[in-house]
């Protein structure tokens, strides 16, 4: 059975090959920056896919989060199952805190289990959002490997603005590094056409994958759908749904 994937795929992450996950583009999901914080909100999301359309292998994820004005908590479950009875799962707990205006930090603890073997890992993240048009983020965490744990670091920047006073855009670049896999550059972009409709795209040269997707909503509900195309392995379709509620001060 294949190993449980660690690249984020909930929400916009599915359409950016994980780009933006270090910069707080998504509040919910596995392997995102634990410093991500959406003050005075609560949400629940679910998403899933079959890798490259393979029959009998399914990956699913569920996240619940609650954010006050200065502090937030999220709990995520990710599981992978195949038709032959094999399974792998992971649980993730994140705690975020607003230190000063525009500057948040966070801690994450994860437990992963695969074929009867379990391991813990964790990390810390920072986000700096002093200006609406610019964000800087960074994460340092441990990753479980067959021989033990290895250290992973990730940094990213993004920039954005508005077009014609009606459309919002944002682009980002991130670098993920660990000893086992080397550097993984990720590039992402988003264009908000309407308050209820956004388009996302992403590219990761190292994993030879490009992606495209949309996010659409109505009231407190949002749906997201994306396609990832690997150069040789083929196409993966990712679907998900999120409910979010903004709390009054």
Tell me the per-residue pLDDT of 145-164, one tens digit each, with 9 for 90 and over.
665 677 889 999 999 999 88
Please tell me the predicted confidence (pLDDT) of residue 3: 60
> What is the four-CA torsion angle of 33, 189, 247, 63, rounded to 10 degrees?
-50
Give domain status of residue 89, yes or no.
yes
Residue among 44, 24, 25 at smallest CA distance from 34: 24
- Mind listing the pLDDT tens digit for each residue in 45-90? 999 999 888 888 899 999 999 999 999 999 999 998 887 766 889 9
C-alpha–C-alpha distance, residues 25 and 32, integer Å: 9
Does 115 have pLDDT greater than 80? no
- Mind listing the pLDDT tens digit for each residue in 195-215? 889 999 999 999 899 999 999
Tally of domains in the chain: 1
- Mind listing the pLDDT tens digit for each residue in 211-231? 999 999 988 999 999 999 999
User: Among 133-142, 165-174, 179-188, where is mean pLDDT lowest?
Assistant: 179-188
Give domain status of residue 174, yes or no.
yes
How many residues are present in the chain?
Answer: 249
Give domain status of residue 153, yes or no.
yes
Give domain status of residue 194, yes or no.
yes
Does 245 have pLDDT greater than 70? yes
Give domain status of residue 3, yes or no.
no
Q: What 3-state DSSP class applies to 217?
A: strand
Q: Sorting pLDDT into bands at 50, 70 and 90, what band is 1?
A: very low
C-alpha–C-alpha distance, residues 176 and 140, integer Å: 10
Please tell me the predicted confidence (pLDDT) of residue 145: 65
Q: What are phi and psi of 39, to 5 degrees?
A: -55, 140
181: left (phi over 0), alpha (psi -120 to 50) or beta: alpha
C-alpha–C-alpha distance, residues 59 and 81, integer Å: 7
Q: Which domain holds residue 34?
A: 13-246
User: What CATH number did the domain enclosing 114 receive?
Assistant: 2.40.160.40
- Mind listing the pLDDT tens digit for each residue in 38-50? 999 999 999 999 9
Give domain status of residue 210, yes or no.
yes
Name the one residue in this structure whose structure tokens are 């409910």.
Answer: 243
Mean pLDDT to the nearest integer, 11-32: 90
Give domain status of residue 8, yes or no.
no
Mean pLDDT to the nearest integer, 186-196: 93
Give domain status of residue 5, yes or no.
no
């Amino acid at each position: 059975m294949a190993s449980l994937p660690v690249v984020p795929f909930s929400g916009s992450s599915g359409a950016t090959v994980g780009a933006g996950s270090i910069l707080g583009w998504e509040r919910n999901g596995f392997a995102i920056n634990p410093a991500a914080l959406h003050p005075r909100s609560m949400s629940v999301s679910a998403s899933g896919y079959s890798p490259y359309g393979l029959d009998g292998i399914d990956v699913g994820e569920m996240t619940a989060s609650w954010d006050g004005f200065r502090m937030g908590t999220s709990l995520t479950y990710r599981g992978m199952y195949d038709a032959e009875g094999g399974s792998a799962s992971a649980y993730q707990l994140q705690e975020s805190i607003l230190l000063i205006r525009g500057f948040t930090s966070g801690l994450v603890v994860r437990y992963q289990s695969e074929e009867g073997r379990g391991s813990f890992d964790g990390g810390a993240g920072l986000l700096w959002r002093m200006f609406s048009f610019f964000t800087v983020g960074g994460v340092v965490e441990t990753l479980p490997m067959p021989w033990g744990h290895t250290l992973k670091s990730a940094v990213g920047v993004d920039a954005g603005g508005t077009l014609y006073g009606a459309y919002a855009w944002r682009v980002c670049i991130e670098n993920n590094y660990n000893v086992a896999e080397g550097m993984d550059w990720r590039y992402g972009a988003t264009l908000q056409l309407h308050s209820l409709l956004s388009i996302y795209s992403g590219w990761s040269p190292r994993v030879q994958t490009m992606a495209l997707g949309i996010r659409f909503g109505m009231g407190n509900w949002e749906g997201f759908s994306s396609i990832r195309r690997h150069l040789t392995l083929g196409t993966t379709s990712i679907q998900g749904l999120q409910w979010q509620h903004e709390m009054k001060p």
